[in-house]
Structure 1
Amino acid sequence: MARRYLHEIDLMRAFVILGVLSVHTTSFFNVLNNNMTPGFLTLGALITSMHYTRETFMFVTGLVLFITYYRNPFHPLVFWRKRFLLITIPYIIWTLAYIAFVGWLTPGFNWSWSILWPAIVHNVLTGNMYFLYFLVVSMQLYIVFPLLLFMLRTWEKYHIHILVASFVLQICLMWINKYALGTVNVAHLPKVLYDLYEYRDRNIVMYQFWFVAGGILACHYDRVAAFVCQHRRALFISLGVGVCLVWSYYFLERLVVGESEGSAELVLQPIMVPYSLLVTMVYWYAGLSWAKRMDRPGWRPFSKFIQVAGNTSFGIYLAQPFPLYLMELTVNHIDGVGIPTWLHYALLPVSILFVYFSSMLISYILGKIPLLTYTVGRRTQWRRHKQQAVQRAA
């Protein structure tokens, strides 16, 4: 069966990565506010409502894998060789780059090998540098994907049951994460249990629903697409209600229950499961709608942007710490001079766009340089580059 390219996924990637950078940039701006002030709580509520991005990326990953392999021949060894080549290389390279970057920023950093080597080993094993947890979870998915593929192929007539059971399990896991594990005293835990506790946010079990949901959507893609398009109005109304509920929940947690900011904004908590699913479905519907119009003359500039942003999204994710650092330096300097409050908040969208397009530029350039393409998860197409060189010479 011919493999299907989903143009709508490009739009999802382009705007979900914008959401990721919006969260990280807005979080920095909120650090500059005093706790419990109106500005702090407003940005806190906004950040909470943008905490769907992690789940949406997991969903897209599962969807793309299953749409590629569900109805096509699958060879685990070929799959692992292909996927791990494109993820372990950038994972290791960016881990080393981040360690060097942190060392450069840290006065008096000890560059001796006896200090660097344990740091490298620890961060490679845990994905502890910046936002590399996503790659750690992705590698775990690649390991178990043959089993997931076998299960969904074998139990195709039970897909609804599997989806519901996975959803309920996800709610239970999020409840345990927030209300049970959040109060554990880790001081006397053995190291193995401590590591499982400390790094549970990069354990594939914590995201199992998103991979399963993406996989089941891939199996019944056209039927679900027709259903969503038919009920698009209900989808948008549900999203509006969902945003209001998430904001209300955040203010309830902060102002009534007295929870900390970290607990109220927590990504891995029960309310974020149905909310993130709603947002993901809206993104998907938007992608479907654009895919029908992408070749129309009036849409071509936007479509070109989506193509570039979608193709560079993985590299944007990896390159973002450097533009984020430049943005933080600049905003701190401007605030230090003394500016009106309205101007401070006006810098927020400008800062988001700066980080987004700067990261995109880095990713785009790396994706055009032979060998360095592997740092952003892309193979070097030697034959194509050779043909292009010949054409230029001619």
Structure 2
Amino acid sequence: MERTQPVPATPARGSPPHPARPPHLWQVDVLRLAPMLGMIGVHVLLFSAPASSRWSGAALIVLHVTREVFFFISAFVLTYALSADRYVFGVRAFWRRRYPVVAAPYLAWTLLYWALLTVLAWPRHPDVRGLGVDLLTGWFHLYFLLVTLQLYAVYPLLAWLVRRLRRHPWALLGASGAVQLGLTALLQYRPDLIPSGVLGFFIYAPIELTSYQFYFVAGALAAAHLDECVRFVRRHWRGLRQTLVFVLIGAEACYLVNLHLGQSPPQASGVFQPVVLPLVLAALTGTWMLAERLRSWFPPRSVAWRRIRVAADHSFAVFLAHAVLLIAVLRPGVDRVLGLGDLPWPTLAAVRFVLVLTGAALLVALLRWTPLSWLLTGRPSRLPHWRLRHWRLWPGAPA
């Protein structure tokens, strides 16, 4: 595997402070949409289907991969954006640029959701301790940002590893994959083998970096060797399509085996199990292939791609805001008012998905016209007076 894109290095004397960005990857716009849509689907399904439903579990084992896809894309976008020709970066400058654009929305939305739930639970007194727990552990879906902040902390080390092992990427990927498979096998099938002193650490597996280390490594390597990855996909198009089907069938077979072993549907469709790794790679490959097909149908500057890019640019904010709409549609009496009370749960989940997605998109569009746009959406305000000011304050954008 030859390196096709230079990876970040330490700053060189005389290097340009603002080198040109690499070309825009239109395929990544499609990739960025997938985790947002998938996570909304997961959350709607969790609150619409009976917890004991085997059918919902069969859907969740596939949809659950969206969090790993999100973290893969985060590392991929970071590496691609920082690996243009002659692009070098300093660690402090990297942290100074990246941390505010994730930490600020994390703090703002954590406070907003805490206040929202406190108001809905009125007249209960505000739970200040609960706010502290939310900030430390990530409320509901906001742990995505908490893990992203951890990625930023170790990314200079990851970039160094990718650079040093540029001639041996399979060794790095294989070692990381072996650790990921071993860890998830223990968590899913033999947690009794985990020492009691360490078991408590795994309670926080969803919110800590090591649980997703393979996807960070794979994302960085894919960006650093992008040309070869793209050639491989295009050369083995038909075989990959068949492989995607086999992986999907295999994932559902593993789900049935887990049920046969006595696991409940939520356990059998859990996030941390070995089959998730090939399923994530299949999801990423399939989404990239879809993007390649769209590129063959529509020119890059066409209306279709412009709309896809706008949607991708707003996907981060829609992901952050969708729980506001989820809380609203789950309020007592809402189903009766909307005439959804007698619907079977698959139809109910589909209707709620459309309501939450549409409502979140409209909310984000509204927030973009407020002075709080950078804080809540990660994008500059559309208000002319605030646009330049906040662009200087927050020069980056979430990966």
- The alignment partner of 2:89 has SS state of coil
- The alignment partner of 1:141 has SS state of helix
How far apart are 1:380 and its partner, in Å?
4.9
From 208, 228, 242, the equivalent of 2:233 is 228
Cα distance in 2 for partners of 1:46, 1:386 equals 42
From 107, 126, 130, the equivalent of 1:119 is 130
Judge conservation of contact 2:38–2:63 (CA < 8 Å) in 1: yes
Judge conservation of contact 2:83–2:224 (CA < 8 Å) in 1: yes
From 127, 140, 148, the equivalent of 1:130 is 140
Query: Who is 1:60 aligned against?
Result: 73
Judge conservation of contact 2:36–2:315 (CA < 8 Å) in 1: yes
From 203, 206, 214, the equivalent of 1:209 is 214
Cα distance in 2 for partners of 1:15, 1:229 equals 21
How far apart are 1:218 and its partner, in Å?
0.8
User: Does the C-alpha gap of structure 1 residues 275 and 382 become closer, same or farther in structure 2, counting only changes over 3 Å?
Assistant: same
How far apart are 1:312 and its partner, in Å?
0.8
Judge conservation of contact 2:186–2:193 (CA < 8 Å) in 1: no
1:262-273 aligned at under 5 Å gives the runs 262-273=266-277
1:75-86 aligned at under 5 Å gives the runs 75-86=90-101
Structure 1: tracts of 5 or more residues without a match: 388-394
Query: Who is 2:56 aligned against?
Result: 43
Judge conservation of contact 1:13–1:309 (CA < 8 Å) in 2: no
User: Does the C-alpha gap of structure 1 residues 183 and 154 become closer, same or farther in structure 2, counting only changes over 3 Å?
Assistant: closer
User: Does the C-alpha gap of structure 1 residues 385 and 91 become closer, same or farther in structure 2, counting only changes over 3 Å?
Assistant: closer
Query: Who is 2:36 aligned against?
Result: 17
Judge conservation of contact 2:35–2:69 (CA < 8 Å) in 1: yes
What RMSD over aligned residues (CA atoms) do the two structures have, in Å?
A: 2.7
Cα distance in 1 for partners of 2:193, 2:361 equals 40
Cα distance in 2 for partners of 1:217, 1:337 equals 44
Cα distance in 2 for partners of 1:386, 1:240 equals 46
Cα distance in 1 for partners of 2:189, 2:387 equals 58
The CA deviation string for residues 272-326 of structure 1, in whole angstroms up to 9 with x for no partner, is 11111111111122223324544379x62x3233122201111111111111122
From 262, 283, 289, the equivalent of 1:285 is 289
Query: Who is 2:184 aligned against?
Result: 174
Q: TM-score, normalized by length of structure 1?
A: 0.85
User: Does the C-alpha gap of structure 1 residues 271 and 182 become closer, same or farther in structure 2, counting only changes over 3 Å?
Assistant: farther
Matched, 1:219 2:232: no
- Identical-pair percentage: 28
How far apart are 1:353 and its partner, in Å?
1.7
Matched, 1:93 2:97: no
Matched, 1:358 2:359: yes
How far apart are 1:50 and its partner, in Å?
1.4
Query: Who is 1:390 aligned against?
Result: none
The CA deviation string for residues 182-230 of structure 1, in whole angstroms up to 9 with x for no partner, is 78798xx7xxx67633212111111111111111111111121011012
Cα distance in 2 for partners of 1:183, 1:327 equals 42
Cα distance in 1 for partners of 2:248, 2:337 equals 32
User: Does the C-alpha gap of structure 1 residues 194 and 296 become closer, same or farther in structure 2, counting only changes over 3 Å?
Assistant: closer
Judge conservation of contact 1:366–1:373 (CA < 8 Å) in 2: no
The runs of at least 4 aligned residues of structure 1 exceeding 4 Å deviation read 182-186, 334-338, 379-387
Query: Who is 2:378 aligned against?
Result: 377
Query: Who is 1:161 aligned against?
Result: 171
Cα distance in 1 for partners of 2:99, 2:142 equals 15
Cα distance in 1 for partners of 2:380, 2:281 equals 32
Greater alpha carbon shift after TM alignment, 166-175 vs 347-356? 347-356
